[in-house]
Amino acid sequence: RNGRGTIDHFHVHGRVDVQVGTLSKAIGALGGYVCGSRDLIDFLYHRARPFLFSTSHPPSVAATCIAAFDVLEQEPERMERLWENTRFWKKELGGLGFNIGGVNTPASETPITPIIIGEG
């Protein structure tokens, strides 16, 4: 809906126990995150296998994320521009005959647009 994730899309703020996300797409950094209660995070910290071989983000990645979120909050017109570009991109690809979903495959409702090759 607003490009702010599933929780915002479905209006379930405060009713979700775990939130997982990526920082490598729209935020333009790397890695991801898990948010939850202190007990959940402590459990994952001590028991989750992938965490055993992980390192924390360097300060530069944290700074990149903070700056990106600041831009999103202070310049909402960027999000509207993204959706304008997305609509144009999808329309033009469809007009050129590319299968971007919607026939045999559900159409993407995000700026991430698949180009389906073969039977879809």
Please say whether the beta carbons of 120 and 102 come within 8 A.
Answer: no
Q: What percent of the chain has pLDDT over 70?
A: 93
Domain residue extents for the chain: 6-74, 77-120
This prediction's pTM: 0.69
Record the tokens describing residue 46, joined without a space: 């001590």
Bridge partners (DSSP) of residue 20 are 34
Q: Convert the pLDDT of each residue in 43-73 to its tens digit.
A: 988 888 776 667 788 899 999 999 999 998 9
The alpha carbon dihedral of 21, 27, 28, 29 has a sign of negative
Give pLDDT tens digits along the chain (120 positions).
556 788 888 899 999 999 998 898 888 898 888 999 999 999 988 888 776 667 788 899 999 999 999 998 999 999 899 999 999 999 999 999 999 987 777 788 888 899 988 875
Number of other CB atoms surrounding residue 29 within 10 Å:
20
